[in-house]
């Protein structure tokens, strides 16, 4: 290849390698230079346009933030409304009580996720907790008896009420809670020398340390390995 272009003065060799030779002509050099100039002009114009766009957009940041917050709020409200009207059974509006009453009373509540499944019959349940009278509740029963569903449903309905949702029940009155603390399931950690029972106790201690008088505590002990039956759940 190199011998064919040797002596051609209108071609300029760039480098010569074993695989071949690279070269360019005066016309190609001129086009390359024009390309560089155009690209430089394009980049400069692009930076100017982007800078102007950012400058103009910065003046609308506050309205955009408001628009985003409003859209998010409407999204939540519409989602809660759709969930309520799409349910197989009617949702009701919960009634909030003063904090000093310390009461959570929900009648005929259903788990909102279970009742949406086809072919599933949800058995309504009641929950009644009263400060000074019924602050602790223990639930026992065989496996697949609905203990965990009852516990999770209680926490879920309290959370739904506090975000402004209607509830899948026939009646509900409760006080606002500071937190919903759940301890569900556990696993051992052999590397740290922690058994399943010890892990449960450590998690329970952590929950009790940060709980207040207006917290809802939910616990589903993992007792299969010790007693052969998942037999108890508690809430207070």
- Measured in residues, the chain has a length of 236
**pTM of the model as a whole:** 0.65
Q: What single-letter DSSP state applies at residue 104?
A: E
Tell me how far apart the alpha carbons of residues 137 and 135 are, in angstroms, rounded to a whole number.
7
Task: With respect to residue 207, please indicate whether it lies within any of the assigned structural domains.
Answer: yes
User: Pick the residue with more confidence: 29 or 159?
Assistant: 159
Backbone angles phi, psi at 6, to 5 degrees: -65, 130
| Model confidence pLDDT, tens digit, residues 18-75 | 666 666 677 777 888 899 999 999 999 999 999 999 888 888 889 989 999 999 999 9
Tell me how far apart the alpha carbons of residues 94 and 82 are, in angstroms, rounded to a whole number.
17
Q: Which residues pair with 12 in a beta bridge?
A: 24
CATH of the domain at 152: 3.40.50.300
Domain that holds residue 176: 85-235
Binned at pLDDT 50, 70 and 90, residue 146 comes out as confident
Of 59-73, 85-99, 142-156, 176-190, the least confident: 176-190
Task: With respect to residue 228, please indicate whether it lies within any of the assigned structural domains.
Answer: yes
Calculate mean pLDDT across residues 165-182: 90
Tell me how far apart the alpha carbons of residues 126 and 171 are, in angstroms, rounded to a whole number.
10
pLDDT score of 190 more than 80: no
pLDDT score of 228 more than 50: no
Task: With respect to residue 47, please indicate whether it lies within any of the assigned structural domains.
Answer: no
**Token pair recorded at residue 134:** 């019924």
Check residue 231 and give its pLDDT. Answer: 46
| DSSP notation for 201-234 | HHHHHHHHHH--TTEEEEEE---HHHHSS--EEE
The total domain count for the chain is 1
Q: What single-letter DSSP state applies at residue 134?
A: B
Q: Is the Cβ–Cβ distance between 12 and 24 less than 8 Å?
A: yes
Calculate mean pLDDT across residues 66-94: 92
Close Cβ partners of 177 (under 8 Å, ≥ 6 residues apart): 104, 158, 162, 214, 215, 216
Check residue 67 and give its pLDDT. Answer: 94
User: Pick the residue with more confidence: 235 or 195?
Assistant: 195
Of 58-62, 186-190, 213-217, the least confident: 186-190
Task: With respect to residue 13, please indicate whether it lies within any of the assigned structural domains.
Answer: no
Task: With respect to residue 224, please indicate whether it lies within any of the assigned structural domains.
Answer: yes
Check residue 109 and give its pLDDT. Answer: 92
């Amino acid at each position: 290849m190199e011998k064919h272009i040797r002596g051609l003065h209108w071609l300029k060799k760039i480098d010569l390698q074993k695989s071949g030779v690279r070269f360019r002509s005066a016309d190609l050099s001129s086009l390359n230079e024009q390309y560089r100039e155009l690209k430089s002009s394009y980049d400069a114009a692009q930076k100017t346009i982007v800078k102007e766009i950012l400058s103009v957009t910065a003046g609308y940041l506050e309205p955009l933030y408001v628009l985003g917050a409003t859209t998010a709020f409407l999204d939540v409200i519409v989602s809660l409304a759709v969930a309520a009207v799409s349910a197989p059974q009617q949702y009701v509006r919960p009634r909030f009580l003063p904090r000093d009453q310390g009461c959570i009373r929900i009648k005929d509540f259903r788990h909102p996720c279970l009742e949406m499944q086809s072919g599933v019959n949800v058995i309504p349940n009641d929950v009644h907790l009263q400060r000074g009278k019924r602050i602790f509740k223990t639930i026992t029963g065989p496996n697949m008896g609905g203990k965990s569903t009852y516990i999770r449903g209680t926490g879920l309905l309290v959370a739904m009420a506090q975000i402004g949702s209607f509830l899948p029940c026939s009646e509900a009155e409760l006080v606002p809670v500071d937190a919903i603390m759940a301890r569900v399931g556990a696993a051992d950690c052999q590397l740290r020398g922690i058994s399943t029972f010890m892990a449960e106790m450590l998690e329970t201690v952590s929950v009790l340390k940060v709980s207040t008088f207006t917290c809802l505590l939910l616990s589903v002990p993992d007792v299969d390995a010790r007693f052969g039956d998942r037999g108890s759940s508690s809430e207070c």
